[in-house]
A and B are shown apart, each in its own frame.
Chain A
């Protein structure tokens, strides 16, 4: 019985991982092998030609840096803002506290794609069309409700006695906040940051809507569409660009997977 279960699990693992394997191996295949009608699931002549073409010829190096700037700015800002807000809703009892919490919850379900329409005009009126700043701002706004919701569980898990002890020792408010509480919830901040990073890094629709004419401000997902041509898709280039885009997220995910699953369990149970 156990053998059957093990075999099934391995087969499913193989099938699940296969698209990612296929992406990488296709990116490494010489153009001739991709065009070949006799496809092989491996390559004996790996080449970096697609990567060099994509990075130098198509400007993906620039897009990669742009994506990284946007995602990292969102991560840092969202972590600080969410931390403060999470402290407010867990450590204090004030009027409208439940209302504020419910609003953070409702904000998570708003279809952000529909908000592209009004946001396009907001961004245009601010003169921010075609800038990376516009993407940082909207992703910060959209990652906050979930980040606050998730951080809440981590802040609540820190015993209040620790802060009280620090206060008795004469520590001020700011010291308690940034020297005592902040380091204690750092693991939670990392898990939360992964989600902020991913929404910003993966974003396709806002980049497509706000960055309309400035190629220099393009980010990876929207730039990927460049390779889709009506007659003949450049699959080698598409797979190389997709690989470039996927690797940072994979590293991020696998690196923090344990915190992620427990943090998520917390976010779901809470």
Chain B
């Protein structure tokens, strides 16, 4: 089959390669540009170890929910209720752990189950009754916002048991002797991760090559690997010089890896994209479109619950206002990351980058002292701009 692939002259192949990949890496480059911009404007505050750690902690729940929202958007739906669900689950967690003194592990599991049940309830109407998801989840948004208020009786409830707080404010334990302010365990994990990523990339490339598949030019691969490794190492170095890797960052990274794998490599991932791409064609190809839609909502519910727990642990109280407006950041993250509002298109990496763009902008603008009023204006314009660029790219 390789002998049949048309071989192009070297320069054109490189040109095509850059063109094809520009879209995939476009958002990543925007993120880098935005970070550089704020790094300069804030006089280096943005990438200070303390601020970077805070940035991660502040945005973890958005990233976690964006993973679920991406799948929902890929199937061609939307979930407006995630903020309220996160808030409600946080309230339930406080009720269990603070009021009823339930063991935190058990409470954690119950809360995730509540999230799954909420997702199932909403997914049922969307998938099997064909009620537009916009309406179902708008109703859910009101219902769970109200229920959170009812559970908390309008009051804040806390504090949580210290172990539970570790979910959000804890850092991985230090096993090696400390070297100054640097946390060697975290640094080691970062180094292993960087090497692992480069190794996996090289192995995949050579595997493809051995099967005669056209791969990216070697120079690109080398450059990309070096950049990736450096970025990971530098990031870990910064984080490690504060208090080490936050627990929530570990959870987040694991989830990103898991969802990246599920969407790209598994049958269920492929089928979810097929449902969003053309539901009728998918169903006539034997795919159970309704069940998959239902499952994406269940998954969304679980992740919203997890985000709610992370957020509650971070604040150390459950408040009736928790989760307010989260859905907007989460949905914006997915669309900035290149997901299509018509379904079928969107990448996990994109959604994560989108969430990070929102996070960096929030953080950077706050450091610069821009008021919450204009922050919202700017965020709105960035969202519109990102989607415009995407639509323009697709038309070309």
Q: Do A and B come from one complex?
A: no
